[in-house]
Amino acid sequence: MFKRPGFYQKLKFSSNHVPGQYSEICDGHLYQDRKNSGILKKNVLSLQWYTDGASLFSSSNTEVWPVYLTINELPYSERYKKENLLVSVLWCGPVKPPGNILITVMYEDMALLRNAHEGEQEISGVLINGTADLPARAIMLNMVRFNGASSCQVCEQEGVPRPGIPGVRLFPFNEDTMAPRTLQKMLEYSESGTELKPTKGVKGPCGLASVMPNYVLGTGIDQMHQLFGGCTKKILSLWRSTKPYAKKWSISQQEGVVNQHILSIRPPLHVVNIQNGGAGETSASTSGGTNDEACGSEAINDNTLQGTQENSGSNYDFFTGEGNLAERTCHQDDFDLAAFST
Ligand SMILES: [Zn+2]
Protein backbone atom coordinates (compact mmCIF):
# COMPACT_ATOMS: atom_id res chain seq x y z
CA MET A 1 0.00 0.00 0.00
CA PHE A 2 2.66 2.44 1.04
CA LYS A 3 4.54 1.77 -2.17
CA ARG A 4 1.61 3.15 -4.18
CA PRO A 5 2.30 6.72 -5.27
CA GLY A 6 0.15 9.18 -3.31
CA PHE A 7 -1.11 6.68 -0.70
CA TYR A 8 0.79 8.16 2.23
CA GLN A 9 -0.33 11.67 1.27
CA LYS A 10 -3.97 10.61 1.63
CA LEU A 11 -3.58 9.72 5.29
CA LYS A 12 -4.82 12.32 7.74
CA PHE A 13 -3.10 11.98 11.09
CA SER A 14 -4.53 15.13 12.67
CA SER A 15 -8.28 15.31 13.10
CA ASN A 16 -9.94 18.65 13.69
CA HIS A 17 -12.45 17.50 16.26
CA VAL A 18 -14.99 20.08 17.37
CA PRO A 19 -16.30 19.11 20.85
CA GLY A 20 -19.91 17.97 20.66
CA GLN A 21 -19.80 17.29 16.91
CA TYR A 22 -19.53 13.72 15.67
CA SER A 23 -19.23 12.86 12.02
CA GLU A 24 -16.41 10.35 11.99
CA ILE A 25 -14.68 7.63 14.00
CA CYS A 26 -11.95 10.18 14.64
CA ASP A 27 -14.45 12.37 16.56
CA GLY A 28 -15.30 9.54 18.93
CA HIS A 29 -14.34 9.24 22.55
CA LEU A 30 -11.99 6.27 22.03
CA TYR A 31 -10.04 7.93 19.23
CA GLN A 32 -9.77 11.28 20.99
CA ASP A 33 -8.64 9.57 24.19
CA ARG A 34 -5.83 7.78 22.39
CA LYS A 35 -4.91 10.98 20.58
CA ASN A 36 -4.78 13.06 23.76
CA SER A 37 -2.65 10.46 25.51
CA GLY A 38 -0.13 10.63 22.65
CA ILE A 39 -0.68 7.08 21.36
CA LEU A 40 -2.30 8.18 18.12
CA LYS A 41 0.01 10.63 16.40
CA LYS A 42 1.77 11.15 13.07
CA ASN A 43 2.58 7.84 11.36
CA VAL A 44 0.42 5.81 13.74
CA LEU A 45 -2.60 4.29 12.01
CA SER A 46 -5.79 3.46 13.89
CA LEU A 47 -7.40 0.34 12.51
CA GLN A 48 -10.92 -1.07 12.46
CA TRP A 49 -11.69 -4.80 12.19
CA TYR A 50 -14.58 -6.44 10.40
CA THR A 51 -15.40 -10.08 9.80
CA ASP A 52 -18.18 -12.36 8.60
CA GLY A 53 -18.49 -15.85 7.17
CA ALA A 54 -19.67 -16.89 3.71
CA SER A 55 -20.20 -20.34 2.20
CA LEU A 56 -17.39 -21.35 -0.11
CA PHE A 57 -19.84 -22.83 -2.65
CA SER A 58 -23.62 -22.83 -2.71
CA SER A 59 -24.97 -25.53 -0.39
CA SER A 60 -21.49 -26.10 0.99
CA ASN A 61 -20.80 -26.40 4.70
CA THR A 62 -17.33 -24.99 4.25
CA GLU A 63 -17.18 -21.35 5.22
CA VAL A 64 -14.63 -18.67 4.51
CA TRP A 65 -14.05 -16.04 7.20
CA PRO A 66 -11.81 -13.13 6.24
CA VAL A 67 -10.87 -10.57 8.89
CA TYR A 68 -10.49 -7.17 7.27
CA LEU A 69 -8.73 -4.20 8.72
CA THR A 70 -9.55 -0.70 7.50
CA ILE A 71 -7.51 2.43 8.13
CA ASN A 72 -9.46 5.18 9.87
CA GLU A 73 -6.96 7.84 8.78
CA LEU A 74 -7.93 7.41 5.13
CA PRO A 75 -10.70 9.71 3.86
CA TYR A 76 -14.06 7.94 4.09
CA SER A 77 -14.34 7.75 0.28
CA GLU A 78 -11.06 5.79 0.16
CA ARG A 79 -11.39 3.70 3.30
CA TYR A 80 -13.42 0.79 2.00
CA LYS A 81 -11.92 0.53 -1.49
CA LYS A 82 -10.68 -2.99 -2.16
CA GLU A 83 -7.10 -1.85 -2.65
CA ASN A 84 -7.10 -0.10 0.74
CA LEU A 85 -8.32 -3.06 2.82
CA LEU A 86 -5.90 -5.22 4.76
CA VAL A 87 -6.89 -8.88 4.90
CA SER A 88 -5.38 -9.92 8.17
CA VAL A 89 -6.74 -13.46 8.48
CA LEU A 90 -8.47 -15.90 6.14
CA TRP A 91 -10.15 -18.84 7.87
CA CYS A 92 -11.59 -21.65 5.79
CA GLY A 93 -13.21 -24.75 7.23
CA PRO A 94 -16.34 -26.77 7.99
CA VAL A 95 -16.73 -25.16 11.42
CA LYS A 96 -16.98 -21.56 12.50
CA PRO A 97 -13.64 -20.16 13.66
CA PRO A 98 -12.95 -19.62 17.35
CA GLY A 99 -12.65 -15.83 17.67
CA ASN A 100 -9.54 -15.99 19.80
CA ILE A 101 -7.65 -17.88 17.09
CA LEU A 102 -8.53 -15.20 14.54
CA ILE A 103 -7.42 -12.52 16.98
CA THR A 104 -4.11 -14.27 17.70
CA VAL A 105 -3.27 -14.34 13.99
CA MET A 106 -4.38 -10.73 13.65
CA TYR A 107 -2.12 -9.77 16.56
CA GLU A 108 0.89 -11.34 14.86
CA ASP A 109 0.02 -9.52 11.66
CA MET A 110 -0.08 -6.23 13.49
CA ALA A 111 3.40 -6.84 14.82
CA LEU A 112 4.54 -7.06 11.17
CA LEU A 113 2.78 -3.80 10.45
CA ARG A 114 5.05 -2.05 12.90
CA ASN A 115 7.93 -2.75 10.53
CA ALA A 116 6.32 -1.13 7.49
CA HIS A 117 8.23 1.87 6.19
CA GLU A 118 7.49 4.96 4.18
CA GLY A 119 10.89 6.24 3.13
CA GLU A 120 12.62 6.94 6.41
CA GLN A 121 9.35 6.96 8.34
CA GLU A 122 8.29 4.11 10.52
CA ILE A 123 4.57 3.38 10.41
CA SER A 124 2.71 1.55 13.15
CA GLY A 125 -0.90 0.63 13.76
CA VAL A 126 -3.28 0.39 16.71
CA LEU A 127 -6.51 -1.60 16.59
CA ILE A 128 -9.12 0.71 18.03
CA ASN A 129 -12.59 -0.39 16.91
CA GLY A 130 -14.47 -3.00 14.95
CA THR A 131 -17.82 -4.45 14.07
CA ALA A 132 -19.61 -7.47 12.60
CA ASP A 133 -23.14 -8.83 12.52
CA LEU A 134 -24.55 -10.49 15.66
CA PRO A 135 -23.31 -14.09 15.15
CA ALA A 136 -19.84 -12.93 14.10
CA ARG A 137 -19.62 -10.46 16.97
CA ALA A 138 -20.57 -13.20 19.44
CA ILE A 139 -17.65 -15.26 18.08
CA MET A 140 -15.19 -12.37 18.28
CA LEU A 141 -16.31 -11.34 21.79
CA ASN A 142 -16.36 -14.96 23.00
CA MET A 143 -20.00 -14.64 23.99
CA VAL A 144 -23.08 -16.83 23.66
CA ARG A 145 -25.10 -16.73 20.45
CA PHE A 146 -27.68 -14.00 19.90
CA ASN A 147 -30.57 -16.15 21.17
CA GLY A 148 -28.86 -17.25 24.40
CA ALA A 149 -29.36 -15.80 27.88
CA SER A 150 -27.55 -12.46 28.37
CA SER A 151 -26.53 -12.44 24.72
CA CYS A 152 -26.90 -8.69 24.27
CA GLN A 153 -23.45 -7.28 23.63
CA VAL A 154 -24.39 -3.77 24.70
CA CYS A 155 -26.24 -4.28 27.98
CA GLU A 156 -26.49 -6.95 30.65
CA GLN A 157 -30.15 -7.86 30.49
CA GLU A 158 -30.84 -11.58 30.36
CA GLY A 159 -33.89 -11.56 28.11
CA VAL A 160 -36.68 -14.14 28.11
CA PRO A 161 -37.41 -17.02 25.72
CA ARG A 162 -40.26 -16.20 23.37
CA PRO A 163 -43.22 -18.37 24.38
CA GLY A 164 -44.09 -20.98 21.78
CA ILE A 165 -41.19 -20.17 19.46
CA PRO A 166 -38.07 -22.08 20.42
CA GLY A 167 -34.74 -20.46 19.68
CA VAL A 168 -36.06 -16.90 19.86
CA ARG A 169 -35.25 -14.63 22.79
CA LEU A 170 -37.03 -11.40 23.63
CA PHE A 171 -35.45 -8.40 25.31
CA PRO A 172 -38.37 -6.40 26.71
CA PHE A 173 -37.58 -2.75 27.35
CA ASN A 174 -36.86 -2.45 31.06
CA GLU A 175 -34.33 0.15 32.13
CA ASP A 176 -33.74 -1.55 35.48
CA THR A 177 -32.18 -4.58 33.81
CA MET A 178 -30.33 -2.78 31.04
CA ALA A 179 -27.04 -1.86 32.74
CA PRO A 180 -24.58 -1.07 29.94
CA ARG A 181 -21.65 -3.48 29.63
CA THR A 182 -18.29 -2.07 30.72
CA LEU A 183 -14.73 -3.23 30.08
CA GLN A 184 -14.13 -3.84 33.77
CA LYS A 185 -17.22 -6.02 34.21
CA MET A 186 -16.57 -7.95 31.00
CA LEU A 187 -13.04 -8.78 32.19
CA GLU A 188 -14.49 -10.00 35.48
CA TYR A 189 -17.08 -12.18 33.73
CA SER A 190 -14.42 -13.61 31.41
CA GLU A 191 -12.53 -14.96 34.42
CA SER A 192 -15.39 -17.14 35.63
CA GLY A 193 -17.34 -17.79 32.42
CA THR A 194 -16.85 -21.01 30.46
CA GLU A 195 -18.26 -22.51 27.29
CA LEU A 196 -20.66 -24.69 29.30
CA LYS A 197 -21.41 -22.18 32.03
CA PRO A 198 -21.12 -18.62 30.72
CA THR A 199 -21.18 -15.69 33.13
CA LYS A 200 -23.57 -12.99 31.90
CA GLY A 201 -23.22 -14.43 28.42
CA VAL A 202 -19.40 -14.39 28.50
CA LYS A 203 -17.76 -17.76 27.76
CA GLY A 204 -14.20 -16.88 28.78
CA PRO A 205 -11.39 -14.44 28.01
CA CYS A 206 -11.62 -12.42 24.81
CA GLY A 207 -8.45 -11.91 22.78
CA LEU A 208 -9.61 -8.45 21.72
CA ALA A 209 -8.88 -7.29 25.27
CA SER A 210 -5.17 -7.55 24.51
CA VAL A 211 -5.25 -5.78 21.14
CA MET A 212 -7.81 -3.01 21.67
CA PRO A 213 -7.82 -0.23 24.30
CA ASN A 214 -11.49 -0.95 25.12
CA TYR A 215 -13.03 -3.77 23.13
CA VAL A 216 -16.41 -3.32 24.81
CA LEU A 217 -16.86 0.29 23.73
CA GLY A 218 -14.83 -0.26 20.58
CA THR A 219 -17.08 -3.00 19.17
CA GLY A 220 -20.05 -1.29 17.57
CA ILE A 221 -23.37 -2.45 16.18
CA ASP A 222 -23.00 -2.78 12.41
CA GLN A 223 -24.89 -0.13 10.48
CA MET A 224 -26.61 -2.54 8.11
CA HIS A 225 -28.46 -4.38 10.87
CA GLN A 226 -28.98 -1.31 13.04
CA LEU A 227 -30.05 1.32 10.49
CA PHE A 228 -31.02 -0.37 7.24
CA GLY A 229 -32.70 -3.38 8.79
CA GLY A 230 -33.43 -4.68 12.26
CA CYS A 231 -34.77 -2.54 15.10
CA THR A 232 -34.63 0.86 13.39
CA LYS A 233 -36.54 -0.36 10.35
CA LYS A 234 -39.14 -2.04 12.54
CA ILE A 235 -39.59 1.03 14.74
CA LEU A 236 -40.00 3.26 11.68
CA SER A 237 -42.68 1.00 10.25
CA LEU A 238 -44.51 1.03 13.61
CA TRP A 239 -44.31 4.82 13.87
CA ARG A 240 -45.82 5.31 10.43
CA SER A 241 -48.48 2.63 10.73
CA THR A 242 -52.06 3.73 10.08
CA LYS A 243 -53.59 0.55 11.57
CA PRO A 244 -56.05 1.06 14.48
CA TYR A 245 -53.86 -0.87 16.94
CA ALA A 246 -50.98 1.51 16.28
CA LYS A 247 -52.94 4.58 17.37
CA LYS A 248 -51.13 4.67 20.70
CA TRP A 249 -47.70 5.30 19.20
CA SER A 250 -48.13 6.14 15.52
CA ILE A 251 -47.08 9.57 14.28
CA SER A 252 -48.78 9.08 10.92
CA GLN A 253 -51.01 12.09 11.68
CA GLN A 254 -47.92 14.28 11.65
CA GLU A 255 -46.83 13.40 8.13
CA GLY A 256 -46.45 17.02 7.05
CA VAL A 257 -44.07 17.81 9.91
CA VAL A 258 -42.02 14.65 9.31
CA ASN A 259 -41.77 15.27 5.57
CA GLN A 260 -40.62 18.82 6.23
CA HIS A 261 -37.86 17.61 8.56
CA ILE A 262 -36.71 14.92 6.15
CA LEU A 263 -36.46 17.38 3.30
CA SER A 264 -34.34 19.71 5.42
CA ILE A 265 -31.65 17.08 6.01
CA ARG A 266 -28.39 17.66 4.12
CA PRO A 267 -26.07 14.73 4.79
CA PRO A 268 -22.34 14.81 4.00
CA LEU A 269 -21.15 14.37 0.42
CA HIS A 270 -20.08 10.77 0.93
CA VAL A 271 -23.70 9.63 1.42
CA VAL A 272 -24.79 8.25 -1.94
CA ASN A 273 -27.96 6.73 -3.32
CA ILE A 274 -27.73 3.01 -2.58
CA GLN A 275 -31.30 2.10 -3.51
CA ASN A 276 -30.38 -0.49 -6.12
CA GLY A 277 -27.55 -2.07 -4.19
CA GLY A 278 -29.35 -2.26 -0.89
CA ALA A 279 -31.62 -5.23 -1.52
CA GLY A 280 -28.76 -7.41 -2.63
CA GLU A 281 -26.80 -6.47 0.42
CA THR A 282 -29.56 -7.64 2.73
CA SER A 283 -30.18 -10.91 0.98
CA ALA A 284 -26.47 -11.66 0.90
CA SER A 285 -26.40 -11.60 4.66
CA THR A 286 -26.41 -14.91 6.42
CA SER A 287 -28.12 -13.46 9.46
CA GLY A 288 -30.55 -10.87 8.22
CA GLY A 289 -33.23 -11.71 10.76
CA THR A 290 -31.14 -11.99 13.86
CA ASN A 291 -31.48 -8.45 15.11
CA ASP A 292 -35.23 -8.62 14.79
CA GLU A 293 -35.26 -11.69 16.93
CA ALA A 294 -32.93 -10.07 19.40
CA CYS A 295 -35.14 -7.04 19.81
CA GLY A 296 -38.28 -9.08 20.06
CA SER A 297 -39.92 -7.91 16.87
CA GLU A 298 -41.65 -10.10 14.37
CA ALA A 299 -40.45 -10.47 10.82
CA ILE A 300 -40.36 -7.12 9.12
CA ASN A 301 -43.37 -6.61 6.91
CA ASP A 302 -43.23 -5.57 3.29
CA ASN A 303 -43.86 -1.92 4.01
CA THR A 304 -40.73 -0.24 2.93
CA LEU A 305 -39.82 3.24 3.90
CA GLN A 306 -39.93 5.61 0.97
CA GLY A 307 -38.80 9.17 0.87
CA THR A 308 -39.37 12.34 -1.01
CA GLN A 309 -36.85 13.71 -3.41
CA GLU A 310 -36.82 17.44 -3.47
CA ASN A 311 -34.74 18.17 -6.51
CA SER A 312 -35.63 15.31 -8.78
CA GLY A 313 -39.20 16.25 -9.61
CA SER A 314 -40.57 13.55 -7.36
CA ASN A 315 -43.80 14.10 -5.46
CA TYR A 316 -43.84 10.81 -3.63
CA ASP A 317 -45.51 10.90 -0.24
CA PHE A 318 -43.66 9.36 2.63
CA PHE A 319 -46.73 8.11 4.45
CA THR A 320 -49.40 7.31 1.90
CA GLY A 321 -47.15 5.81 -0.73
CA GLU A 322 -48.89 7.95 -3.35
CA GLY A 323 -47.16 9.95 -5.99
CA ASN A 324 -44.30 9.59 -8.35
CA LEU A 325 -40.86 8.35 -7.44
CA ALA A 326 -39.85 7.64 -11.00
CA GLU A 327 -36.92 9.95 -11.39
CA ARG A 328 -33.82 8.70 -9.63
CA THR A 329 -31.23 11.33 -10.49
CA CYS A 330 -29.24 11.80 -7.35
CA HIS A 331 -27.56 15.06 -6.57
CA GLN A 332 -24.84 14.62 -4.07
CA ASP A 333 -26.48 16.73 -1.43
CA ASP A 334 -29.95 15.25 -1.85
CA PHE A 335 -31.13 13.09 0.96
CA ASP A 336 -32.65 9.99 -0.50
CA LEU A 337 -34.61 8.22 2.17
CA ALA A 338 -35.31 5.39 -0.26
CA ALA A 339 -31.76 4.34 0.55
CA PHE A 340 -33.20 2.90 3.75
CA SER A 341 -35.79 0.75 2.00
CA THR A 342 -33.59 -2.30 1.66
ZN1 LIG B 1 -29.02 -4.78 25.43
Q: Which residues contact 253 (CB under 8 A, 6 or more apart)?
A: none
pLDDT tens per residue, range 241-291? 999 999 989 999 998 898 888 888 877 777 766 433 333 333 333 333 333
- Please give the distance, rounded to the nearest whole angstrom, from the Cα atom of residue 191 to the centre of ligand 1: 21
- Please give the distance, rounded to the nearest whole angstrom, from the Cα atom of residue 74 to the centre of ligand 1: 32
- Please give the distance, rounded to the nearest whole angstrom, from the Cα atom of residue 320 to the centre of ligand 1: 33
- Please give the distance, rounded to the nearest whole angstrom, from the Cα atom of residue 157 to the centre of ligand 1: 6
Does residue 60 register a pLDDT over 90?
A: no
Contact 40, 73 (CB under 8 A): no
Residue 289: per-residue pLDDT: 34
* Candidate from 119-123, 161-165, 254-258 with smallest mean pLDDT: 119-123
pLDDT tens per residue, range 63-109? 999 999 999 999 989 999 999 999 999 999 999 999 999 999 888 87
- Whole-Å CA distances, 270 to 87, 120, 333: 24, 33, 9
Does residue 238 register a pLDDT over 70?
A: yes
- Please give the distance, rounded to the nearest whole angstrom, from the Cα atom of residue 338 to the centre of ligand 1: 28
- Please give the distance, rounded to the nearest whole angstrom, from the Cα atom of residue 152 to the centre of ligand 1: 5
Q: What is the pTM of this model?
A: 0.72
- State which amino acid sits at residue 324: N
- Please give the distance, rounded to the nearest whole angstrom, from the Cα atom of residue 180 to the centre of ligand 1: 7
- Please give the distance, rounded to the nearest whole angstrom, from the Cα atom of residue 265 to the centre of ligand 1: 29
Residue 110: per-residue pLDDT: 75
Does residue 331 register a pLDDT over 80?
A: no
pLDDT tens per residue, range 186-213? 999 999 999 999 999 999 999 999 989 9
- Please give the distance, rounded to the nearest whole angstrom, from the Cα atom of residue 137 to the centre of ligand 1: 14
Does residue 130 register a pLDDT over 70?
A: yes
What DSSP string runs through 270-328?
Answer: T----HHHHHHHHHH-S-TTHHHHHTT-----S-------GGGT----TTT--S-----
Residue 116: per-residue pLDDT: 57
Average pLDDT over residues 105-128: 74
- Please give the distance, rounded to the nearest whole angstrom, from the Cα atom of residue 295 to the centre of ligand 1: 9
- Please give the distance, rounded to the nearest whole angstrom, from the Cα atom of residue 85 to the centre of ligand 1: 31
Per the model's pLDDT, the better-predicted residue between 336 and 113 turns out to be: 113
